[in-house]
Structure 1
Amino acid sequence: MAFNDLDRKRIENAMVAFMAKRRPPPHIRPELDIGYRLTDQSVEIFEIRPQWDNPAITRERPFAKATYVRTQNLWKVFWKRSDLKWHGYEPAATVKSIDEFLAVVDADQYCCFFG
């Protein structure tokens, strides 16, 4: 089941604040930027870059994801490894809110999200 309107707005507000804090300066954004998307019960954060051999093509590389589990009232935190599969993020496998998820991504304790 997808988020209701109130939940979606709360998530979007949290994501806008996070993006304002973590996005690179405007002059760098054509070469490197970050974005997010809401899909069903998940929030995904991704890197946006031009393709190395054809700058006209823009590529998105997701690196962080949180999936809401309504029955348990918590968010599961994932990171994408080099095998291109989502794996649970061990320092904080679950969090109680979207703000906690964003704090975990921002802290990046094991350097899995931002390197």
Structure 2
Amino acid sequence: MKSNIARLIGFLNCGKMITANNTILALSEIALNKPENQEMIFKEFIKVEHYNYDTLECRNVALGKVILALGKFENEIKDQKDILEFLKRQTNNTRASVKKRAIKLLEKLKQHK
């Protein structure tokens, strides 16, 4: 299973938004059903902000999908510094929907503390 996950993770950095978005969805389902893989998957999700896609907007759309995926794991991520820092950076995203999602998720995570 780990080799399949590693193969999937490779698609996050393929440069194509649709492929990356489908990969984010698949990896989030794996993280839901196989909690032992969550830490590895979450670390890969936040790397998306450094990957190159066809356009900056494509990357921003992928970042929005990452935030949606992370939102399924409020209890698991509420104290993870790297994820919280990622979300804080996304509150300055140039895509309004990504910015809103990041702000909303950060607010929800504060309520869990």
TM score, norm. by length of structure 1: 0.24
The structure carrying a bigger strand percent of its residues is 1
The structure carrying a bigger helix percent of its residues is 2
TM score, norm. by length of structure 2: 0.24
Larger Rg: 1
